[in-house]
Amino acid sequence: MKTYDAIVVGAGHNGLANAAFLAKAGLDVLCLEKNPYIGGAAVSLNLYEDWIYSNCSYVCSLLRPEIYRSLDLARHGLQVTPYGGGMTFMENGDYLGAYWDSETRYKEYSRFSKHDADAYERYSADTMRQCRFIRDFMMRTPPDPTSFKPRDLMELMAIGKKFYEMGEDRMYDTVRFWTQSVAEYLDEYFETDVIKTALSGSGIIGTALGIHSPGTAYVLLHHYMGEVDGNVGAWGFARGGMGAVSQAIANSFQSYGGEIRTNAGVEQILVKNGKVTGVALTSGEEISARVVVSNMDVKRTFMKCMDEKDLPEDFLHRVKNFKIRGSSGKLNIALDGLPTFPALPKGSPLLDGDMHFIDSMERMELAFDDWKEGTWSKDPYVDMLIPTITDPTMAPPGKHFMSCFVQYCPEKIEGRAWTNEERDAFGKTVIDQIAKYSPDFKDLILHVEIRTPQDIENEAGLTEGNIFHGELTMDQLLFNRPVPGYAQYRGPVKGMYMCGSSTHPGGGVMAAPGANAAREILSDLKRQNTVPENFGDD
């Protein structure tokens, strides 16, 4: 029987990126996927006629440019187009527009407050400073602060040096920033409710926390540190939907001789004498390999796909307590035409970007209150985009695809499974909220896919449908991600590795966890490293 050098479990973008870097180094690699299609949560699916749905992740920014370049993703078909615009609709009929052009933004903010219009520059510089501090660590393995290995010490010193270089006052700011709530952070700059609200959304996306919860300022940063062609903070659409990201990585992987098998769900990662030997598929088939890499989140990996007896008790305990709570759902909608929004002037370029329908910090917090009560937000925070305004490939001409990321949405309703009626009612909540600002919206709907966290878990495999494979709070970042002592991508069993977003630096279609894990694996196997270093200062 053939023994692979490595098996990667899960053909999400991180699994594929990991597999690609291993194959690039000359390893014989097999990537297994339970679904009939690859991509995991970076996927394009054809769910209605000629429409292509980005039915999980929907925008692209964090994908590390170093990976984009070294896996030759452009040649393998990936094209990312940035978008501008976006707005927050207000209950009084007005809206707050988001403009890239700094003077237009100044004028727009000035309508509400000249103070806030000025303050944006400082807010932006302060946020960018934090971004620069953390960005350099995206393509690096987090050091273990308890280790005395030279490499850990060197890396710790690198972090310390960078921290020290920020200067005294900014070091204080950094520590506050990492522990503060997004609401407190924004309060330091702005006085206008709707401006704060518009900026606060990035602090809670994918996180089971409210805007007033400590730790959410960092989540905001996580959404700012991406880039499109060096424009830090910019977001873009992958042409052809988010599946184009996974497909390009898969093409790259295959160009290095890698092998992908779909409809090949892994039942268990096999361990013998404390060492990984391969995997058993749900079909009963066993495949042997010297290394097994899990692209699944840590809970799914260790609690569903491994024998608990093979794992250290303390490790398992920490995995069980890893926070990976379901907080968001999704609606994917096929539209017969472009909905009109009477608050906006005709042909407004703001439609290119993400639209929001909550205009106060109070409503943001109330949305979280519903989640705490064990139900979906009755006035949810919706991050809505119509990618087909930019991307001509996802729907027939004149028709549109709409992606609605919805927060908050619990994994269970009051502790029990969702009923179909509740799922429909959840969908109606979102559609009604949008329809309040777009009278013709409902009539244009051709098809709706409603996804609760449970649906996302069942299909994409994300525990509780958590988009980041675990929340991005300080207790679960860097050397604490996913579990203290196991942050360097090595599992507790020899030959077993983790490469999903549960590992540093977390989720968001970055592909950095997959790449970083590959670097560690290649180092253990004494193979030449194929994983690029980060581009450095920019």
Partner 1 sequence: MTIHEVPQKRLTTPFYPRLTELDRLNNWHSWKGYTSTDALYDPELEYFAIRNSTGVFDLSPMTKYRITGPDSLDYINRLVTRDMNKIKPGRVAYAVWCNDQGQIIDDGTIFHLREGEYRLCSQERHLPWLVSAAIGFDVSIVEETAEVAGLAVQGPTSFSILRTLGLSGIEELKPFGLTHFDFEGSELMVSRTGFTGDLGYELWIEPAKALALWDALFEAGKLYGITAIGTHALEMARIEAGYIAAVTDFLPAELTVRSGRSRSPFELGLDWLVDFKKPTFNGRRALAEEKRRGSNWRLVKLDIDGNKPANHSYIYTKKNGKRIQAGFTTSAMWSPVCKQNIAIGTVNTPYGNVGDTMQVEIYYQREMLWTRVMADAVVVDKPFWDPARRRATPPGNY
Write out the residues near partner 1 by the rule CB under 8 A. 93-95, 97, 99, 101, 103-104, 106-108, 111, 114-115, 117-119, 121-122, 125, 128-129, 132, 165-170, 189, 342-345, 348, 537
Closest to partner 1 by CB, 130 or 407: 130
Cβ at position 224, least distance to partner 1 in Å? 12
Taking the least distance from each CB to partner 1, the nearer of 129 and 290 is 129
Nearer to partner 1, 145 or 349 (CB): 349
For the chain, what percentages of helix, strand and coil (3-state, to nearest 5) are there? Answer: 40, 20, 45
Q: In terms of C-beta density within 10 A (0-12 exposed, 13-18 middle, 19 or more buried), how is residue 420 classed?
A: exposed
Closest approach of Cβ 128 to partner 1, in Å?
A: 5
Beta-strand pair 445-451/328-335: antiparallel
Q: Cα separation of 365 and 346, whole Å?
A: 32
Shortest Å, Cβ 92 to partner 1: 10
Complex with partner 1: residue 48 or 106, whichever CB lies closer: 106
Contact between 463 and 320 (Cβ < 8 Å): no
State the minimum distance, in angstroms, from the CB of residue 83 to partner 1.
Answer: 17
**Half-sphere exposure for 510 (CA within 13 Å, toward CB):** 30
Query: Which SS3 state, helix, strand or coil, does residue 318 take?
Result: helix
Closest to partner 1 by CB, 177 vs 468, is: 177
Task: Tell which residue, 526, 536, 490, has the closest CA to residue 142.
Answer: 490
Do 352 and 97 contact (CB within 8 A), yes or no?
A: no
Place of tokens 């497909």: 247
CA–CA dist 475, 7 (Å, integer)? 30
- The letter for the amino acid at 243 is G
Residue closer to partner 1, measured from CB, 168 or 308: 168
Report residue 517 as tokens. 């894990």
In contact, 408 and 208? CB cutoff 8 Å: yes
CB neighbour list of residue 285: distance below 8 Å, 6 or more residues apart: none
Distance (Å, whole) CA 158 – CA 325? 33
**Smallest gap from residue 505 Cβ to partner 1 (A):** 20
Closest separation in Å from C-beta 463 to partner 1: 37
Looking at beta carbons only, is 189 or 401 nearer to partner 1? 189
> From the CB of 197, what's the least distance to partner 1, in Å?
18
Q: Letter for the amino acid at 47? A: L
- Rounded Cα gap, residues 171 and 181, in angstroms: 17
Q: In angstroms, what is the minimal distance from the CB of 94 to partner 1?
A: 6
Per the document, the length of the chain is: 538
For partner 1, which is the closer residue by CB, 111 or 272?
111
Query: Nearest distance from residue 299's CB to partner 1, in Å?
Result: 37
The DSSP result for 150-197, as a single string, is HHHHHHHHHHHHHHHHT-HHHHHHHHHHHHS-HHHHHHTT---HHHHH
CB of 512 to partner 1, least distance (A): 22
CA 536/CA 538 separation, integer angstroms: 6
Shortest spacing between CB 95 and partner 1, in angstroms: 8
- Whichever of 135 and 423 has its CB closer to partner 1, that residue is 135
Q: How far is CA 527 from CA 5, 67, 154, 492, 530, in A?
A: 12, 19, 22, 22, 9
Is the CB of 169 or the CB of 229 nearer to partner 1?
A: 169
* Partners of 380 in the β-ladder: none
Which residue's structure tokens are 């990667």? 8
DSSP state of 324: -
> Minimum Å distance from CB 113 to partner 1?
9
Question: Residue 210: CB partners within 8 Å, gap ≥ 6?
Answer: 204, 216, 364, 365, 367, 368, 369
CA distance 24 to 20: 6
Measured from the CB atom, the residue of 199 and 250 that comes closer to partner 1 is 199
Query: CA-CA distance, 119 to 108, in Å (whole number)?
Result: 13
Q: How far is the CB of 91 from partner 1 (least distance, A)?
A: 13
Of the candidates 125, 296, 362, 128, which has an alpha carbon nearest to the alpha carbon of residue 223?
128
Nearer to partner 1, 132 or 412 (CB): 132
Considering beta carbons, is residue 121 or 475 the nearer one to partner 1? 121
